[in-house]
Amino acid sequence: MFRDISFGQYYPTNSLVHKLDARVKLLLTILFVVVIFFIKSYFGFMLTAFVLIVIILTARLPIISVLKSIRGILFIIIFTSLINLFFVKQGEILWHWKIFTITKVGVHTTIKMVLRLVLLISGASLLSLTTTPVQLADGVESIMAPLKLIKFPVRDVAMIMSIALRFIPTLFEETNKIIAAQKARGASFDTGGFFARAKAMMPVLIPLFVNSFRRADELAFAMDARCYNATDKRTKMKKARIGFGDIVALLFMLSFATVILLDRYYFAGVGITIDYWIFGDLL
């Protein structure tokens, strides 16, 4: 049931993307997510998909590992698609039945909404697939370092984040084992309505919570026995440094963001649309 969830999982390869500084990848992921909300044309979505494919190929990741992240929001994608398809009333009417109406604007809005969500989740999943939990926590700690001036517990937050990311795949694996054990005892999780399926999950959730608290208690004792804490006196064996590859990646993403902003504000402002150059009167 949870085998296809890729969130929090690291895919190890010796690629250029994996070697980038975690801080740079965090900032570039934030930039990518923000830029997606500025996309207005099909050209922008095509360019974003091209950039995403280039990053995936450079990172030597299997496409299926990235697409697995979409399964978690498949219900949201379908629900928002139906809302936009049947309840956007602007534009030429293509089909009408009772209270349901499909318009040309509604079709375009639905397509763009689906593309936006798919690209957003796929791009964000690349961060966890190419960055270990320790590197990610160190990157967050470094970015949040200025908050130490206001006595914010940056190191505590980084340590909590590192532990949480480390145990996400473990919890998924443990959930699969509990489900397999319950199925061997005759339990069914795929039949009945919504409430029946929710009730069937109770024998899974209870042992999962018990095991999670037990694991957290054992980890706390182990860390305390080793005098592990998050004080400012702790040092790092490997210090992160910005390299030439990080600068190239930053320039690449800034160029992508510039093209998207030009397509939205400049070309649309002067009455020139790249979509019309590409698709003509089809849109």
pLDDT band at 151 (very low <50, low <70, confident <90, very high): confident
Encoding tokens for residue 116? 């936006």
- Band (pLDDT 50/70/90 cuts) for residue 116 is very high
Give how far the C-alpha of residue 28 lies from the chain's centroid of Cα atoms, to the nearest Å: 13
248/166 same-domain check:
no
| Residue 249 placed within a domain | yes
Q: Is residue 24 part of a domain?
A: yes
Same domain, 211 and 108: no
Contact 59, 127 (CB under 8 A): no
What residues make up the domain containing 260?
Answer: 1-131+239-283
Statement: residue 59 has pLDDT above 60: yes
Final residue of a structural domain among 229, 253, 275: 229
Whole-angstrom distance, CA of residue 276 vs CA of residue 137? 45
Query: At residue 54, what is the residue type?
Result: V
For residue 141, tell me if it sits in a domain: no
Specify whether 170 is located in the same domain as 213: yes
- Are residues 78 and 1 part of one domain? yes
Q: Is the same domain home to 217 and 251?
A: no
The angle that helices 133-143 and 154-184 make with each other, rounded to 10 degrees, is 150
What is the pLDDT averaged over residues 28-55?
A: 92
pTM of the predicted structure, to 2 decimals:
0.78
The answer on 33 and 119 residing in a single domain is yes
Q: Are 212 and 171 in contact (CB under 8 A)?
A: yes
Name the DSSP letter for residue 265.
Answer: I
Residues 211 and 255 in one domain: no
Residue 139 maps to a domain: no
174 lies in the same domain as 41: no
Instruction: Examine residue 142 and state whether it is found in any structural domain, yes or no.
Output: no
Q: What is the pLDDT of residue 90?
A: 79
Classify 282 as helix, strand or coil: helix
In this prediction, residue 203 has a pLDDT band, given cuts at 50, 70 and 90, of confident
Decide which of 196 and 17 is more confident. 17
Identify each DSSP E strand in 53-105 by its residue range: 93-97, 100-103
Lowest mean pLDDT across 63-72, 155-164, 238-247, 267-276: 267-276
In a domain, 143, yes or no: no
pLDDT at 232: 59
The number of CA neighbours under 13 Å toward the Cβ of 84 is 17
Residue 140 has pLDDT above 90, yes or no: no
Q: Please indicate, yes or no, whether residues 195 and 257 belong to a single structural domain of this protein.
A: no
Number of domains in the chain: 2
Q: In this model, does residue 256 exceed pLDDT 90? A: yes
List, in sequence order, every residue forming a beta bridge with 103; answer none if it has no partner. 93
71 and 127 share one domain: yes
In a domain? residue 213 = yes
Taking a C-beta distance cutoff of 8 angstroms, is the pair 193, 173 a contact?
no
Res. 283: pLDDT tops 80: no
pLDDT of 122 strictly over 80 = yes
- Judge if 56 and 195 occupy the same domain: no
Which is more confidently placed, 124 or 229? 124
User: Treating both helix axes as pointing N-terminal to C-terminal, what angle do 104-130 and 42-58 enclose, rounded to 10 degrees?
Assistant: 20
Using only C-alpha atoms, the chain has a radius of gyration, in whole angstroms, of: 23
Assess whether pLDDT exceeds 60 at residue 150.
yes
The model's confidence at residue 278, banded by pLDDT at 50, 70 and 90, is low
Same domain, 65 and 116: yes
pLDDT, the chain, mean:
82
The reply to whether 99 falls in a domain is: yes
pLDDT reading at 264 higher than 80 = yes
Among candidate residues 137, 139, 132, the one with its CA nearest the CA of residue 160: 137
pLDDT higher than 60, residue 4: no
